Structure 1
Amino acid sequence: MPRLAHVALLVREYDEALAFYVGRLGFSLVEDVPQPEQAKRWMTIRPPGAGADATTILLARAATPEQAAFIGNQSGGRVFLFLATDDFARDHAAFTDAGVRWVRPPAVQPYGTVAVFADLYGNLWDLVQFSG
C-alpha cells in the first residue's frame, strides 16, 4: 500500500536547519548522508516521539536561485505543516522557551487547540492538539 515517505522542505543551509528543527523543536535526526557527487546531503528529520515508519521531513538545500526564491514560502503564505501534539500546553511552553516566534496565539477551535508559529525561514506551522 502506498504511503507518504518524506516531505521536502527547502532550506538555505543544512546546519542552520538542524540547529532549529533538532536544537529548538526537539526533532530527531534520522539520516544525514553526504551525497558528494551532487554536492548535497540526504538529511531527514522527524518530530519527537514519531515512530520509525512515520513520514519524515527531507531538509533539501536549495540548489538554484529559482529554488531559493521559495525558501520560507513553500505554501504561498498559508500554513504549510501541521505538528500534532498530545499535550499542547507542554509543547507550546517548550517552543516558547526555545525562542520560537508565534504568529497567532493559542486558540480553541472546534477541531482542537492550535497556535501558529514561523520556522527560521518564515514557513508557517500549526501546533495543534486535536480534540476527540
Structure 2
Amino acid sequence: MTQATTQGIQVAGIYVRDQDEALAFYTERVGFQVHTDVRNGDYRWLTVRHPDQPDFQLGLFRPGPPLHDEATTQTLQQMVAKGAMPPLVLQVDDCRAACERMRTHGVEFTQEPTERYGTVDAGFRDPSGNGWKVIQARR
C-alpha cells in the first residue's frame, strides 16, 4: 500500500540588492512579518510572510555565492534594478484601502488604483526594483 504524500510550495523567492533594506520595506511598509532570518557564513536565509498566509513564505535573497558565480550575480543584480523580473501579485479585499495604508507607510506607487477587467489594481516597486501588482479580489 502506498502512503499518500502532500506537496505544495512553501517558499518563493525574489532577488534583492540589500536584505536589511528589503526586510524593513516588507515588514514596516507592506505589513509582512519575519518568518526566518538565519545566517551561515556570508549566506543569509531570510523569509517573510503575509499575516493571513502563515504557510507561505517570500524569500528575500541576494544573488551570489553559493548559488551564483560572479557573472551571473552581476546579471541578476542588473535585471532586478531595471525591473526586468516578473511582477508579483498581492491579492487584497480592497485595493484602494490597501494602497492608502501602504502609502502612509512610505510605499510609492508606480500605478494608482485603476478599475479594469472587473476589479481594481495598482502597482509599486520594492527598493530593489521588484514590481508588484496589488489586485482586489473579485466579489
* Alignment TM class, shorter chain as reference: 0.7 to 0.9
Is the aligned partner of 1:35 residue 2:40?
yes
Greater radius of gyration (CA)? 2
| Offset, 1:74 | 4.6
Amino acid at match of 2:78: A
| Higher mean C-alpha deviation, range 117-126 or range 15-24 | 117-126
Q: Distance in 2 between matches of 1:108 and 1:95?
A: 19
Is the aligned partner of 1:48 residue 2:51?
yes
**Partner residue of 1:115 out of 122, 131, 135:** 122
| Uncovered stretches (5+) of structure 1, i.e. residues with no partner | none
Q: Distance in 2 between matches of 1:101 and 1:18?
A: 16
User: Are the aligned partners of 2:22 and 2:126 in contact in 1 as well (CA < 8 Å)?
Assistant: no
How many residues get paired? 125
Taking a change above 3 Å as real, the CA distance of residues 108 and 116 of structure 1, as seen in their structure-2 partners, is: same
Runs of 4+ displaced beyond 6 Å: none
Q: Distance in 2 between matches of 1:66 and 1:122?
A: 14
Q: Distance in 2 between matches of 1:122 and 1:85?
A: 21
| Higher mean C-alpha deviation, range 20-29 or range 55-64 | 55-64
Aligned to 1:81: 88
Q: Give the fraction of aligned pairs with identical amino acids, expressed as a percent.
A: 30
Q: Distance in 2 between matches of 1:109 and 1:32?
A: 38
TM-score, with length taken from structure 1: 0.84
In the TM superposition, what whole-angstrom CA distance separates every residue of 1:28-50 from its partner, at most 9, and x where no partner exists? Answer: 100001112xx111111112322
Aligned to 2:80: 71
Aligned to 1:96: 103
| Offset, 1:66 | 2.9
Q: Secondary structure at the match of 1:71?
A: helix
TM-score, with length taken from structure 2: 0.80
Greater fraction strand: 1
